[in-house]
Amino acid sequence: MLERFNKKIKYSWLITIIPLFFLVHNIEEAYTTYVWLLHNFFSLPEFAIKLIPDNVVYDDVKRIIYIGLFLSSLIPLAVIYFSVKYNHNPKILPLVFVINWILIINILQDIVLYIYFKKYTPGVLSTLILNLPFAAYLFYRTTHDKITTKNYLIRLLPLSIILYFIILGFLLFSSYVLQIMTH
C-alpha cells in the first residue's frame, strides 16, 4: 500500500508543502499559547519564569508570541521557496533536510512538554496528528527514493540542533525587540 502511495505523490511536492505544516502548527500555538500561559504560568519551571522580564505585561507576551510564530513560519517558507525556485538544486536540499530535522526537534519538544505537564500543551495536537507522520514520511521518502542516505541525514542532526537553538534565540530576541519598537 505504501508503494502505491509513494508512486502517487511526487517527492518535489512533499518538499513544497513543508511550510504548510509549520504554518498549521504555528496557528494552533498562536490560538492556544496565550491562554495556556495565563492558566499555567506558575507551573512553568523556575528558570523559564525568570526568562520573562518583570515589566512585561500579558498583552506584551501575546504580541511576542504572535511575532515569534510569524517569523518562525517565514524561515521554512524562505528555504522551500529557494529550493523550488532553483528546481530542488542538490546544493539547497541539505537545508530542506535541516528544516525537516528542525520540525522533528520541535515535535520532540512538544511531546516532552506534554509529558512534563501531564496535560495539553500548545502545539501538541498538530504535532501528533500532522507533523510527526509527515516528517517521518519525508525522511522515509528521502532515503527510499535514494535522494540521500540515512547516514547523511544523521550527520545533519547536530547541525540541525545547533541551528534550532540559534533560530529559537533569534526569534525570542527579535520578537521582544519588535514588541518594544511597536509599544
**Would you say residue 134 lies in a domain?**
yes
Counting the structural domains of the chain, the total is 1
pTM over 0.75: yes
Is the pLDDT at 104 greater than 70, yes or no? yes
Which domain, by its residues, includes 81?
10-40+57-181
**Would you say residue 45 lies in a domain?**
no
Exposure letters 135-154 (e unless 16+ CB within 10 A, then b): bebbbebbeeeebbeeeebe
Neighbours of 28 (CB within 10 A): 20
Cα separation, 35 vs 173, whole angstroms: 22
Q: What is the mean pLDDT of residues 69-85?
A: 84
**Would you say residue 177 lies in a domain?**
yes
Q: Which residues have C-beta within 8 Å of that of residue 27, sequence separation ≥ 6?
A: none
**Would you say residue 75 lies in a domain?**
yes
Highest average pLDDT, of 52-66, 80-94, 164-178, comes from 80-94
Q: Which pLDDT tens digit goes with each residue over 117-173?
A: 999 999 999 999 999 999 999 999 999 999 999 999 999 999 999 998 888 888 777
Q: What is the mean pLDDT of residues 80-99?
A: 85
- 173: its cell numbers: 530576541
**Would you say residue 1 lies in a domain?**
no
Quote the DSSP letter at residue 76. H
Q: Is the dihedral of CA 44, 167, 98, 69 positive or negative?
A: positive
Q: Given pLDDT bands bounded at 50, 70 and 90, which one contains residue 1?
A: low
**Would you say residue 3 lies in a domain?**
no
**Would you say residue 49 lies in a domain?**
no
Instruction: Supply the pLDDT for residue 51.
Output: 67
Q: Which pLDDT tens digit goes with each residue over 2-51?
A: 677 777 788 888 888 999 998 999 999 988 988 888 888 778 788 777 76
Instruction: Supply the pLDDT for residue 175.
Output: 66
Is the pLDDT at 177 greater than 90, yes or no? no
Instruction: Supply the pLDDT for residue 183.
Output: 62
**Would you say residue 2 lies in a domain?**
no
Question: Are the beta carbons of 25 and 130 closer than 8 angstroms?
Answer: yes
Cα separation, 182 vs 42, whole angstroms: 28
